[in-house]
Amino acid sequence: MVNAGYRRPPASMVWVESAAELARFRRLLTEADPADDPAKVVAAAFISSIDHGRDKDEWARHRAELILHAPAVQAQANNVYRQWRSAVAHFVAHRRGEGPDAPYPVAVSHAVLAASAAGHEIWLADPTADLVSCLRKMFAMMMPTDDAQVAMKRISSRE
């Protein structure tokens, strides 16, 4: 699991890649076809943005372990997560002609982080697993679907 010769970075080092990942994510969103489903665009862009390739698995696994389990790192996580949620909500809202605080953009933004956390947990539990595959499975299970949007409209019409 953990290489005995690997030195764990300080908590602040865990987030060094975050700004570049978020910038890549935003770029991928702006490059996406406007006709594509915004939730699917977000899922694909997110996975692509945080995938550093199999050759970086050891580093990425240690980083994920720290993000998910180290209290010193988790103390900084909320700010990073808030930036991701904001980027997702603003993109989805813009695509749908809504505000970023509308229910669907908020749901998608939280689903992204939930799917990411779950995908990373599954990946960490299996040393032979591929991060991208784990993330795709979790995104497929957790992202709001068209059926969820229809149900939300039905609920809203009753209120």
Rounded Cα distance between 66 and 75, Å, is 11
Q: Does residue 120 sit within a domain?
A: yes
Asked whether residue 52 is domain-assigned, the answer is yes
Give the up-direction half-sphere exposure of residue 100: CA atoms within 13 A in the CB hemisphere.
Answer: 12
In contact, 115 and 139? CB cutoff 8 Å: yes
Give the per-residue pLDDT at 159.
67
CB-based contacts of 142: which residues, under 8 Å, 6+ apart?
111, 114, 115, 118
pLDDT digits (tens, 9 = 90+) for 76-122: 888 899 999 999 999 999 999 999 999 999 999 999 999 999 999 99
Computed from CA positions of residues 8, 19, 25, 89, in that sequence, does the dihedral angle turn out positive or negative?
positive
Q: Is residue 77 part of a domain?
A: yes
Number of structural domains found in the chain? 1
In a domain, residue 127? The reply is yes
End-to-end CA distance of the chain: 51
What's the rounded Cα separation, in Å, for the pair 69 and 81? 15
Domain residues for the domain of 105 are: 16-30+37-149
Q: How confident is the model at residue 1 (pLDDT cuts 50, 70, 90)?
A: very low
Does 4 fall in a domain? no
- Tokens linked to 9: 């970075």
What's the pTM? 0.83
Q: What is the CATH number of the domain that holds 99?
A: 1.10.357.10
Q: Are 92 and 108 in contact (CB under 8 A)?
A: yes
With a cut of 80, say whether residue 7 has pLDDT above it: no
Domain contains 49:
yes
Residue 125 in domain: yes
Domain membership of residue 5 (yes or no) is: no
